[in-house]
Structure 1
Amino acid sequence: MNVSTDTPRGDASSTARTSFPFAALVGQASLQQALLLAAIDPGLGGVLVSGPRGTAKSTAARALAELLPEGELVTLPLGASEERLIGTLDIETALRDGAVKFSPGLLAKAHRGVLYVDEVNLLPDSLVDALLDAAASGMNTVERDGVSHSHAASFVLIGTMNPQEGELRPQLVDRFGLMVELENCFDPNVRQAIVKARLAFDADPRAFRASYATQQAAYVQRIHAARERLPQLAFDDALHEHVSRVCIDAAVDGLRADLVMLRAARALAALEGAAAITVGHVDHVAEAVLRHRRLNRETDTHARHASPPPAQQETRDSTEAPDAKTKPGSEGDWGQLPPEVAGTIHVKGVIPLPAKKR
């Protein structure tokens, strides 16, 4: 039995209208661009935002949701179950009445809006897989005992994480379309601008938001126009060649980086109202596409080639035989480990064990 219908969502008016304006974000140009590209083309696979506490990750997510009036901001709680995320099927009703009773989950509610996942690195892998599958395909399918139900689930996925609290598996990180890495701000002028804006918003949210109303409306119009323009932009051979070269130079695994880079460049061209996608558009989005894909490789390579700490190196040198001509692991002594200094403790008053009787 297979039923494929759209599922009713919550009213978009439930989205909080007291969020900090997207246009008022200070010092977050790279994050704003990545979020806008994902809003224009949700098929990019979402945006992973990494950074320490207090760098406006959740503020930016709520601000983007307000620019998508047809949707809303849906937050996935850290302890949510898979059923709450994807929805549930009432099998008893299906067997008794021959009709599928589907209870929608958060993916259905987030359709055409923003699905925000804070601390995505702390979620079970199965939940992250389901999130990324729906974000990439725009559909959610629930199957149970031969009964399935599918519904549209096109949303902007925003996952945030603090790297100090743990990392995502490389296989999951790679499936996020774009990544932005935020850092603490040490520029006094930028810090003052951020704090002043926040204090002004907290003091009078209505007046503060009114001062950015024109810019907010412009963002809404730009997103709408870019979505309309997106299918009209084509990829030429020169663009494909450039993207391939950039991804090969970054030594990424697979072809996902190539696909995301092309789509992100197209979304940027649509956002700018360009007549064609150029190499400049590719270069402008390349860092957000490659950061998390190239980072793992660079980190692993650095770890493999890094020298041991001085104390460890000194101990190793002092324990190796001075006349050794071969190194551990070389041909002829495969698997041999260098000797290590072992501490000894002198114990007084040890009573010897009696000899066994034969």
Structure 2
Amino acid sequence: MARFPFSAIVAQDEMKLALLIAATDPAIGGVMVFGDRGTGKSTAARALAALLPPMTIAEGCRYHCRPDERGTCPDPCSSQRKRKVAVPFVDLPLGATEDRVLGALDLERALRAGEKAFEPGLLAKAHRGFLYIDEINLLEDHLVDLLLDVAASGENLVEREGLSVRHRAQFVLIGSGNPEEGELRPQLLDRFGLSVEVRTPDAIEQRVEIMRRCAAHEADPDSFAASWEAEDDKVLRRIARGQKKLTSLNVPDDVMADMAELCRAVGADGLRGELTLMRAARALAALNGAKSVRREHLLEVAPMALRHRLRRDVLDEVGSTVRIERAISVLFG
């Protein structure tokens, strides 16, 4: 069945923009989506992965090596042929063990042939794609720690049972959760690049339109997807243009000064706020086809880059987003 088209998702503009920015520059560090149930969190992530063009890999490689990387992973990758595969979208279940996530000794091969061999885990399957964790706030903390470390380094190192294996694991990490079911520890939340909040739409027109589109998709998924193909193609071209333009864009000193001033004003912990602001603003400028990064790009991405990095102020009961908007108003008018 055809997946729900990315362009057909009603409202949730901030979530969609955060996903587009992360797809343009995976170095941003993933997206955390907190909000109500049934607001399209997983639908949007799956739809974005599905619309991306197939990627080329070395045939027979379990680690999704590019053809020019052949022979650099734990698999021999001896075939000179290559093939196209869909961009991976890997779900990490809450009950997953560390072995299943990182990879482990292939017991079947060890028992059958007496050989020590490595069985790739979910991180290898997600390489060059998306790793999605629903209800990440319920995932064991040590697993979240491991995932964020690998997402930041781009490599997975496994040393156990006499094996020492290192392989690439570069993916867009997307976590989602409902705040009512427990919060993610602040030191872990801070490691995500972007954080967005999604809410059930209040406008009757939007709620009706959601029902219409869901009904049309359920009745004839292929026809519905075809009707949105042109819009999804525009999104795909926008991402491709952004990825191509990204490396040529520099952030001017005055805009970097604005970023530092804003982070200081809101009391963001550490320097991850500035670095994420810089990368996100640059990715947004690239997506928009801008010739340079400007303050308007900074202001648009500021809430999603900073809201999860603020210290809690017991004397200020307003939420993080309001504090950021208030600081922007004071600093920039």
Amino acid at match of 1:149: V
Change (3 A) 1:239 1:100: farther
Matched, 1:164 2:164: no
Alignment partner of 1:26 is 2:42? no
- Is the CA contact (8 Å cut-off) linking 2:273 and 2:306 kept in structure 1? yes
Looking at structure 1, the residues matched to 315 and 18 of structure 2 have their Cα atoms a distance apart, in angstroms, of 28
Q: Could you list the runs of 5+ residues in structure 2 that have no partner in the other structure?
A: 56-86, 318-333
Aligned residues of 1:43 and 1:138 also touching (Cα < 8 A)? no
SS in 1 for 2:33: strand
- For the pair 1:254 / 2:270, whether they are aligned, the reply is yes
State the 1:204 CA deviation.
0.9
Aligned residue in 1 for 2:44: 60
Q: Counterpart of 2:260 in 1: which secondary structure?
A: helix
Provide Cα deviations, 1:231-285, integer angstroms capped at 9, x if missing partner: 1111221121111001011101100111111000111011111111111111110
> Scaled by the length of structure 2, what TM-score is found?
0.80
Does 1:140 find its partner at 2:156? yes
What is the CA distance between 1:301 and its match in structure 2? 4.6
Partner of 2:312: 297
Q: What do you get for the CA RMSD once the two structures are aligned?
A: 2.2
> 1:33-84: per-residue Cα shift (whole Å, max 9, x none)?
0000011111111110001111111111111111333312110011001111
Q: TM-score by structure 1 length?
A: 0.75
* Amino acid across the alignment from 1:141: L
Question: How far has the Cα of 1:221 moved from its partner?
Answer: 2.0
- C-alpha distance in 1 between matches for 2:281 and 2:151: 19
Q: 1:39 aligned to 2:23? A: yes
Q: Which moved more, 1:205-214 or 1:67-76?
A: 67-76
Residues 213 and 240 of structure 1, relative CA distance in 2, 3 Å threshold: same
**Within 2, Cα distance between the matches of 1:281 and 1:184?**
26
SS where residue 80 of structure 1 aligns? coil
Long gaps (5+) in structure 1:
1-16, 304-358
The secondary structure found in structure 1 opposite 2:196 is strand
**Aligned to 2:174, what secondary structure does the other structure show?**
strand
Asked if structure 2 preserves the Cα contact closer than 8 Å seen for 1:42 and 1:136, the reply is no
Q: Which residue of 2 aligns with 1:341?
A: none
The within-5 A match list for 1:189-204 is 189-204=205-220
Q: Compute the displacement of 1:31 (Å).
A: 0.6
Kindly indicate whether residue 224 of structure 2 is the aligned counterpart of residue 208 of structure 1: yes
Amino acid paired to 2:135: E
- The Cα shift of 1:137 comes to 2.1
Aligned length: 283
The aligned residue for residue 281 of structure 2 is 265
- Bigger radius of gyration among the two: 1
CA contact (8 A) 2:105 2:161 kept: no
For CA contacts below 8 A with separation 6 or more, give which structure has more relative contact order.
Answer: 2
Cα distance in 1 between the residues matched to 2:196 and 2:206: 19
